Copies of this chain bind each other. A is one copy, B any other.
Amino acid sequence: MNKNEILFEKIALEVKALIDSEKIVELNRYLEELHPRDIAEILVDLEEEKRIKLFEVLPWEIGAKVLDELDSDIFSSILSKISIEHKKKILDLMSQDDMVDILSDLSEDKRQEIINLLDSELAEDIKELLVYKEDSAGGIMTTDFIALRKDITVYSAIEYLRENAPDAETIYYVYVIDKDQKLVGVISLRELIIAKPNSLIEDIMSEKVISVNVNDDQEEVAKLVSKYDFLAIPVTDINGKLRGIITVDDIIDVIQEEATEDIYKFAGTSEAESEHLEEDKFFSKVIYSVKARLPWLLITLLGGTLSATILGKYESTISQYTAVSFFMPLLTGMGGNVGTQSSTLTVRGIATGHVDMKRAFKTIFQEMSVGASVGVVCSVIICIVAYLWMGDFKLGVVVGIAMAANMLTAATIGTLVPIIFKKLGVDPAVASAPFISTTLDITGLTIYFTLTTVLLLKIS
């Protein structure tokens, strides 16, 4: 544990002690000093009864911020235990985009129950946001933003911000709209602060405002924000009307989510499994994981059966020269690893933009050179080992050649497959470890047994 984790453990213990000893006043005072995110973490770790005790002590504003951080299960268990009055107050104070996230994970009934508690304007906003797909710009945006008309002065703009800042998600970028609500410019709070008070907004705003559409994929939004170092990005509808903003903290969540998804896909399991990570129900979690992983395992099963069929053709080779079979796991293992290394680097490179489709040939050639180099090194080692161990020089040479050929093939296939998938418009991450290593088992064994049959049996 690092120093922050140790400090957090200490705070969590003190909070628990205060709840147990029912020191409500001290607890309230102690909690006010904490960050809502920390309170949420402590709360999740408590038993249900204590959770409610802690939650009831929180001032409304903090309670709302704590709710923002919870997942839908704990959110609804807490709300089911507090008074309607308390619920209404606290829901109105929540952050819109977080509430939408939580509500979209609830059942239709529970969702409607919560929406009925909201004041009518907020309820409309939330209903609108719930329509968008969870991984679209609309699904992660908030409508708590500040937009200014282009024909007002800097002075009135700052006055307006003073009044409305507390409700807005961010005020560091202020978007400028025309009379039809169309996005026409942007101005940062920093520019506003240093501008002359009587200038007009339209004269100092930047018209080069980069925006996304409500239906854009969240991954594309994250790429733009990270490329241009934005703190927020505006979201418009098909008519160019400003509908919401996405702030950088939500973009960080998207980037982490997408990285986890990529890693999952790569290991041959569905990206959706990550969303069920926090689920508490043991049985449904297991069922979910089985469903997510089984497709890739069935591909491996099919590939393995194919390998078995190929080996069946070489039955006489194996029965004449049993030692040949000893090296099969070594060869498939090495091929799988080299292929996985190449495919991982290529898939990640495509995702981060480091592997450029324009320079695909360069990447392929580079990986082939790496594959050939490691192939030669490993092939010399295994040739010597096989010779010393088996005392069979010919076998050593065959295994060595097969290994080098296999590793070169593995690097080539590992790089080519994701690049071809990308060109065809298929997600390159489908070239996952199970897919690549199964393919390479088949090619590797074919190479090995062709060589064995030709070199060991026919020649001798």
Task: Given A262-B263, A307-B329, A322-B315, verify A286-B208 contact (CB < 8 Å).
Answer: no
- Do residues A286 and B326 form an inter-chain contact, with CB atoms below 8 A? no
Q: Restricting to A104-141, which residues have a CB under 8 Å from any CB of B?
A: none
Known: A193-B165, A322-B315, A345-B273. A338 touches B301 (CB 8 A): no
Bitwise interface map of A from 252 to 275 toward B, beta carbon under 8 Å scored 1, else 0 = 110110011011101111000100
Name the interface residues of A289-315: CB closer than 8 Å to any CB of B.
289-290, 293-294, 296-298, 300-301, 303-305, 307-309, 311-312, 315
Nearest neighbor of A305 in chain B, beta-carbon distance: B385
Partner of A301, one of B165, B266, B341, B378: B378
Q: How close is A42's CB to chain B, nearest CB, in angstroms? A: 13
Complex contacts, A341 vs chain B, CB 8 Å: 267-269, 293, 296
Q: Which A222-239 residues have a C-beta within 8 angstroms of B? A: 224-229, 231
User: CA A256 – CA B362 in complex, angstroms?
Assistant: 24
Which of A47-55, A78-86, A178-186, A432-440 makes up part of the contact surface? A432-440
Task: Give the CA-CA distance A33 to B209 in the complex, in Å.
Answer: 11
Interface SS of A by simple majority: helix
Is A248 on the interface with B (CB-CB < 8 A)? yes
Contact B231 A340 (CB under 8 A): no
Q: A189-B172, A329-B332, A349-B277 are in contact. Are A266 and B344 (CB under 8 A)?
A: yes
User: In the complex the two chains form, what is the Cα distance from A277 to B351 in whole Å?
Assistant: 13
A42 to B416 alpha-carbon distance, docked (Å): 27
> How far, in angstroms, from A192 to B395 measured CA to CA in the complex?
79
Does B366 contact A286, Cβ atoms closer than 8 Å? yes
**Which of A19-27, A56-64, A368-376, A452-460 lines the interface with chain B?**
A368-376
Task: Give the most central of A290, A340, A348: most B CB within 10 Å.
Answer: A340
CB A435 to nearest CB in B, in angstroms, measures: 10
Q: How many residues of A contact B (CB 8 A)?
A: 110
Query: Oligomeric state, in number of copies?
Result: 2
Residues 186-235 (chain A) with a chain B CB within 8 angstroms: 189-190, 193-194, 208, 210, 220, 224-229, 231
Task: Tell me the chain A residues, 133-168 only, with Cβ under 8 Å from chain B.
Answer: 158, 161-162, 165-166
User: How far apart sit A37 and B230, CA to CA, in the bound complex (Å)?
Assistant: 12
Task: State whether B307 touches A318 (Cβ < 8 A).
Answer: no
CB distance from A226 to the nearest CB of B (A): 5
Interface positions of A (Cβ within 8 A of B): 2, 4, 33, 35, 37, 158, 161-162, 165-166, 171-172, 189-190, 193-194, 208, 210, 220, 224-229, 231, 248-249, 251-253, 255-256, 259-260, 262-264, 266-269, 273, 277-278, 282, 285-286, 289-290, 293-294, 296-298, 300-301, 303-305, 307-309, 311-312, 315, 318-319, 322-323, 325-334, 336-338, 340-341, 343-345, 348-349, 352, 354, 362, 366, 369-370, 373-374, 377-378, 381-382, 385, 389, 433-434, 437-438, 441, 445
A-B contact pairs, 27 of them (CB 8 A): A37-B228, A161-B194, A162-B193, A189-B193, A226-B252, A231-B231, A248-B249, A248-B252, A268-B341, A273-B345, A285-B366, A286-B370, A286-B373, A290-B373, A293-B341, A294-B377, A298-B378, A300-B337, A301-B330, A301-B378, A301-B381, A311-B326, A319-B319, A328-B329, A332-B332, A333-B437, A333-B441
